[in-house]
Amino acid sequence: MFTHASVRTSNLERSIIFYTKLLGLKLLSKRQIPKNNAELAFLQDPQAKGAVLELTFYPAQKMFVQAEYEDRLFDHLAFEVKDISETIEEMRKEKVTITDEPFRISPGGTLIAFIEDPDGTLIELIERK
């Protein structure tokens, strides 16, 4: 069973605020791992239906550069939203980078859009109706 995915962050508190305030996740726990000098935060949707998102911060990491889209190893996270237009408008107000405006993947198909988190991790928003 798939349990979680980990995404590195350059600022743990900023990322916690982004994922809780804008995407509705709930902070489950935070902890420090002295063995590898990491700070972790675990988040999940409030109904605990989806996998857990682990945010990982390494204080010793000096360079934090997201590769250009074509050169990335990790592609994206995905979140289901009730109303993609409303969500995109809220993201705009918060100055979130919107990389792809809402579009349908096929005629009459699912409506999706893409944004970036504060560190440039690509996030797909999905509206199913």
Q: Which residues are catalytic?
A: 124
Q: Cα dihedral angle (11, 125, 88, 116), rounded to 10 degrees?
A: 30
Going by their DSSP bridges, the two strands 111-116 and 122-127 should be labelled as antiparallel
User: Measuring CA to CA, which residue among 42, 6, 7, 8 is closest to residue 25?
Assistant: 42
Residue with tokens 């949707």: 45
